[in-house]
Chain A
Amino acid sequence: MTDTAATPDAEVEPEVVPGVPVTIDGREIIADEGELIIDAAERHGIYIPRFCYHPRMTPVGMCRMCICEVDTGRGPALQPTCMLECTPGMVVETASPVTTKAQEGVLELLLINHPLDCRVCAKGGESPPLDQTVANGPGESRFVEEKRHKAKPIPISDIVLLDRERCILCDRCTRFAKEVAGDPLIHFINRGNDTEVNTFPDDPFASYFSGNTVQICPVGALTSATYRFRARPWDLEAVESTCQTCAVGCRMAIESSRNEVLRYQGVDIDPVNWGWLCDKGRFNFEALGSEHRLREPLIKQGDAHRQARWAEALGEAAAALQAALDAGGPERIGVIGGARLTNEAAYAWAKLAKGVLGTDNVDCRLGDSLPAEAVLGLPQATIDDACRPGGTVLYLGPDPKEALPVLYLRLRHALVHDGIGLVEVTPVRTSLSDHAAVVLQHRPGEVHTAVRALLHGIPQGQDAGGVDPDALDAARARVAAAAEAGTLTVVVGTQSVAESPQWVTDAAAALAEAYPQVRFLPLVRRGNERGALEMGLAPGLLPGRTTLADGAAWYRTTWPTVPGAAGLDTAGILTAAAAGQIDTLVLLGADPLTDFPDRDLATRGLDGARRIIALDIFLNPSVLQADVVLPVAAFGEVEGSTTNLEGRISLLNQKVTPPGTARSDWEIAAELARRLGSDLQVASTDDLWNEAVAMAPSLDGITLELLLSPDASDGVVAPLPAEATPVPDEPADDAADAPVAATEPDEDADADSDEDAEADGDSEPTGPSTPPMVAFSAAQPLDPPALDAYALRLVATRKLYDLGTLTQASPSLAGLTPGTVLRVNPYDFDRLGVVEGQTLRVKSPRGGVEVEIVTDATVLRGTAAVHTNQPDVAVNRLIDATQPVTDIRIETGGAA
């Protein structure tokens, strides 16, 4: 090979060295095209000190610490190396006498007004100015005047405090607020020596991303209420992990002291979070150390719980499961939740529920997510795919700032700084709308109509879900052009908890059909919802993105049993429970009473279940109803892996021990299996992963060795590309009749899989082969019912801070819930005779709530918008999960 190919070409080919040759401190190095000197030097082991430069923000060159003598051919001159790109032949001196004098001068000038209270400063020990001074400082100040004095600290938000004396005016926090977060709420005010960072009067730095400014502040000027005076950096031990607060999967470090988590810090990985975290993810570590954590198992006695030993509680739980099996079989067991688990625990629970108990009534979702087959079966895009410069995003999903905050940062960067195009299809304006080229605002429950019109035009004489026809024309041209050019990415997720996910699923199906080459980024919201789905915690699925029909034979080779038929999703389980058809309900870190869109159904379901077993870290409203409560280890207390919304698998690490006798979810699964006379045959999370990799088609090749290797430091997106992927046999056919949320007769499922097994058995005598992965298809739903003229169709969306368990258990976050009002178009105000600010009773066929009503011209006529899961107003009382949309009426009184 080498002999034949190499010789003739190699001789004539001139020696081309890609990159830019520059000399730094006498060393010839090759910089990348367009690389800044400061980066090129660092990449080659020469660290140039800096305070204002941050690789994820536009350089401003204002601290002047990184100035070095740079010769571009016109003689050496002091230049900020954070602003100068390497050019061929450039000569840089980072340690010459001139450079050193200038840098030491800058450091002295920065320190003359900087308090030398390093010994009591939260940043002491990780402060670049302190490190610089200790390394090179003169030891004595030449500045004998009074330093600047300002009142301190001043709270600039509920979480962040500002010490203006320590501030060295590097513009990092202010740049972050403006450039990255898009919340320009902190700013330089005054001038020259009086310059300071501050908020505008009465306008706090209420950003979802404020904690990042604390992390990137090079001094102790910005501190968080959660970490101030808690520890010194040298007291802290850190491990890397991946945030499980939402499904973005930000890489982060867990830092603890004396077995107590004290803070999370963002870790910069290219494909996901770029070092940023949202405040919810950053500060909810407080919940881990909460005094309200469950420490010991509890058993219900009368109306209260009593503390129990594990042996007793596990015995009760196993007995409850056995009783259900004995009473009516596996379908009398339901398992709700699992999105908070590690991948390994999810596999263990899938194996326990489906492989030991044999029930398929298993769902990690709470009625507000895309169907599993859409999440797993659509052609997959990554966040990077969606954000690639030159691309266009078609966005049909929840407000990412509220649901998936760091995804919002990535999309915002792509929109604002990289100029990608955005077409948004949404029932209410979101934080992306201002950056969108076109916003197609449609009536709730008609996203599929809007998207079909986007693809095929508006049918003659009809309207397209209320979308503005001119906007539609503009969007059509854009989307068609991008699809043609292969630069279109569709981001799809559920838009409102007040409507069935079927509409947006149908919209995705229409897009997938029209553009077979286009890739999708399906949005899931809860921490490891994607991982739980991958591990089969949904009805009709088995681990590895395979359906019950396709995978039954394969899994029977290892698992004691496999469910005979597809089971129920969460709404189905709750409905069955309400009808007395569920004997034992397991809550895997789920709180349906708070989190399920339909409060009424959740209440009836929990009341109707004969026994409830809850695995949780807190006694939330649903857990309070459980007969057996098993305390579990939380994030940071267990190891394993997690999967983000892209399908990216990354490692979780344990930093602290769980409180009391709390155990990990997978250990409980294994223990229950044993007590039920079976055996999961695993003794560690490693065993679980190894078994999952051996069994799950989508995990093929993603071994522990791979995940632990340096190549996988950014995580690994499943499935591995190309040859590692098993070739599915006729995936379309199999998937088309694969039941996911539907029921299918036992015989059919069995027959299919048996046939497959036999067919495979002919060619491979060793047994069934790996089953194919699920492909996406969706039945076209009926159009939503007509809206009666006196009703408003509801859009219920989530806010970042809500009644979620972790948020409410974190003192710094619990009070940040904004509450809710009902937002209605002014036109409807007049029509219905409502007055701004009135608190009125709002009714749906399901129930009613009292809520303040305000005008909002951005809400479509005939629509009402509200935030769900907020204190005081239980919007989930209005929603009927079995109905496709939620129509409400405002009771204007009069008659009362």
Chain B
Amino acid sequence: MTITDAPKIITRRFDTPDSHTITRYEETGGYQALRTALGSMSPAQVAAQVKDASLLGRGGAGFPAGVKWGFCPPGVWPRYLVVNGDESEPGTYKDRLLMERDPHQLIEGVLLASYAIGAAQAFIYIRGEMALAQERVAKALNEAYAKGYIGKNILGSDYSIDVVMAWGAGAYIVGEETALIESLEGNRGMPRLKPPFFPAAKGLYMQPTVVNNVETLSNIPWIVSNGGETFAELGAEGSKGTRIFAVSGHVKNPGVFEVEYGVTTFRDIIYAPVYGGGIRSDRALKCFIPGGASAPWFYEEHLDLPLEKATVDKAGSMLGSGAIVVMDDTTDAVAACLSVVKFFSHESCGKCTPCREGTNWLEKILRRILDGYGRPSDLDLLMDVADNISPGIAWPPKQTTICPLGPSAVSPLASALGRFRPEFEAHIARAARAEAASAPAQAVGLPGGVA
């Protein structure tokens, strides 16, 4: 076990019950980074600190935040900062806690980022279902306005900005940054095609826009206070600092854990008593999802990989949103696969044909197999339909769609079918036995089976 004694950065206030209040925040060093930045740092210097920190985006794609900030085309104004708080990936619940337990940390991060990129306005977009997070962020914004941290001439400087909170209407896809922007503009949450609609160039209201995750921005105050290099001292070569992982599924102690990034292993975070605490009833591990529902599955042999972006990418999956979902040996792989595919089918926005129709078709075939109506040809059919959504079924995935939602449904299918094909075949064999025992007229065996 490599449980490091790295300091907690963004969850350090979580243990006190009033961590969400401005009083507690100010007492624990809150808004000092903002004071420092506005008092003695140029926007470029703030950006440089973040770049030095090598802070990778915590939303899923893991793109360096400092680099992203530099993508806005120079001289194009106004530009906006959009905070992606639409945390919806199954098994992911870190941003919710950051917004509920330490909203001021996020707001200070938003202000620092806005200062660094020269944003004219910032928008905090919170998932529709997160009522408490919305309440706390709203209250925190009001407190920050009242204390002069937001608004005109912040802390006596010549920097002014408004921060606006908006909330979603309950769609997973709005976690995709261009769909979020559409939603923020008041439209249906449907992704835009990149190119040409890279948010940095053509984002909110077709203006340059930086979209950052809640966790990413929550790191900024600490980085500005302690220096980017201090942050970069933590973690591994390609994954600096600390990071929150959410462990759920068949573990004894599900929860969110801030660990040193790139050093801790999957075995640590699933089995260590301070983290996941091991599989329920001490059963055997069947598989686990390393980074959210769209990530290809990992197995026993991957347990000793460190939680480090490059390593996990190389091993054929991703750390994504940091959601680790553990499945023990009682899990039916077909049912688990259906569960994930059904989620994506349900959450497809309906814009692209392959995702809208394909994920639903996959769901129907899987349902049929699980219900005992599978045909031997269905496994090839599943893979071919999957191939039409994500050509080649490779990792990282290719796509016939605008956004990666459709291909996300392919990953678990490819994993399950690749590793646990006999389980699929067993369900189909059950169907074949039932068919042999039944009358020819029912041989098709499909409820209302019409082509």
Contact = CB atoms under 8 A, between A and B. Distances in A.
Interface of A: 60-65, 67, 77-78, 80, 83-85, 98, 101-102, 105-106, 108-110, 112-113, 140-147, 168-169, 188, 190-195
A106 B388 contact: yes
Contact of A192 (B195, B346, B447): B346
Contacts of A64: 352-354, 400-401
11 contacts: A102-B391, A102-B400, A109-B388, A112-B357, A113-B357, A145-B361, A188-B350, A191-B347, A193-B348, A193-B356, A195-B350
Interface of B: 171, 188, 193, 195-196, 345-354, 356-361, 364, 368, 381, 385, 387-389, 391, 398-402, 444, 446-451
A147 B448 CA distance: 10
B353 A145 contact: no
B400 A145 contact: no
A87 to B, nearest CB: 10
A142 B381 contact: yes
A83 B351 CA distance: 15
A176 B105 CA distance: 45
B353 A65 contact: yes
A145 B364 contact: yes
B387 A105 contact: yes
B350 A105 contact: no
B92 to A, nearest CB: 20
Contacts of B398: 77-78
Given A64-B401, A83-B196, A193 B444 contact: no
Output the residue of A64, A67, A85, A140 with the most chain B CB within 10 A: A64
Contacts of B346: 192
Contacts of A98: 391
A193 B353 contact: no
Given A61-B402, A144-B444, A192-B360, A169 B388 contact: no
A147 B450 contact: yes
Contacts of A141: 451
B176 to A, nearest CB: 14
B353 A146 contact: no
A61 B346 CA distance: 21
A62 B352 contact: yes
Output the residue of B171, B188, B357, B444 with the most chain A CB within 10 A: B357
Contacts of B347: 191-192
Contact of B451 (A77, A101, A110, A144): A144
B400 A78 contact: yes
A425 B195 CA distance: 42
A192 B350 contact: yes
Output the residue of B352, B387, B444 with the most chain A CB within 10 A: B352
Contacts of A106: 353-354, 388, 400
Nearest to A85: B196
A141 B385 CA distance: 13
Contacts of A191: 171, 347-350
Contacts of A147: 450
Contact of B449 (A83, A108, A145): A145
A190 B368 CA distance: 25
A109 B360 CA distance: 10
Nearest to A168: B353
A702 to B, nearest CB: 44
B361 A112 contact: yes
Contacts of A61: 193, 402
Contacts of B446: 144-145
A84 B196 CA distance: 8
Given A84-B195, A109-B354, A62 B348 contact: no
B451 to A, nearest CB: 5
B351 A62 contact: yes
A113 B352 CA distance: 14
Nearest to A98: B391
A67 B400 contact: yes
A562 B360 CA distance: 78
Contacts, number: 107
B451 A105 contact: no
Contacts of A80: 193, 402
Given A106-B388, A109-B358, 8 more contacts: A64-B400, A101-B391, A105-B387, A109-B356, A146-B448, A191-B348, A192-B360, A193-B357
Contacts of A60: 351
Contact of B391 (A78, A188, A192): A78
B368 A145 contact: yes
A169 B351 CA distance: 8
B388 A102 contact: yes
A110 to B, nearest CB: 5
A113 to B, nearest CB: 6
A77 B396 CA distance: 13
A839 to B, nearest CB: 41
Output the residue of A63, A98, A145, A168 with the most chain B CB within 10 A: A145
Given A62-B351, A109-B357, A110-B357, A146 B391 contact: no
A83 B353 contact: no
B451 A143 contact: yes
Nearest to B170: A191
Nearest to A104: B388
B447 to A, nearest CB: 7
Output the residue of B193, B356, B359, B385 with the most chain A CB within 10 A: B356
Output the residue of B359, B364, B444 with the most chain A CB within 10 A: B364
Given A98-B391, A102-B391, A144-B446, A78 B399 contact: yes
Nearest to B355: A192
B149 to A, nearest CB: 38
Contacts of A193: 345, 348, 350, 356-357, 359-360
A196 B152 CA distance: 45
B275 to A, nearest CB: 35
A147 to B, nearest CB: 7
Nearest to A169: B350
A147 B364 CA distance: 11
Contacts of B361: 109, 112, 143, 145
B173 to A, nearest CB: 8
Contacts of A112: 357, 361
A108 B361 CA distance: 11
A178 to B, nearest CB: 10
Contacts of B188: 188
Contacts of A105: 354, 385, 387-389, 400
A298 B207 CA distance: 69
A96 B430 CA distance: 40
A313 B388 CA distance: 72
A105 B356 CA distance: 13
B186 to A, nearest CB: 12
5 tightest CB-CB pairs across the interface, nearest first? A105-B388, A195-B350, A192-B348, A109-B357, A193-B360
B449 A144 contact: yes
A108 B345 CA distance: 17
A136 to B, nearest CB: 14
A482 to B, nearest CB: 25
A108 B389 CA distance: 12
B187 to A, nearest CB: 10
B393 to A, nearest CB: 13
B392 to A, nearest CB: 9
A61 B354 CA distance: 12
Nearest to B446: A144
B356 A146 contact: no
Contacts of A63: 353
Contact of B388 (A62, A108, A144): A108
Nearest to B444: A144
B20 to A, nearest CB: 33
Nearest to A59: B193
A511 B352 CA distance: 52
A712 B245 CA distance: 69
B345 A192 contact: yes
B32 to A, nearest CB: 44
B45 to A, nearest CB: 34
Contacts of A144: 444, 446, 449, 451
A61 B351 CA distance: 9
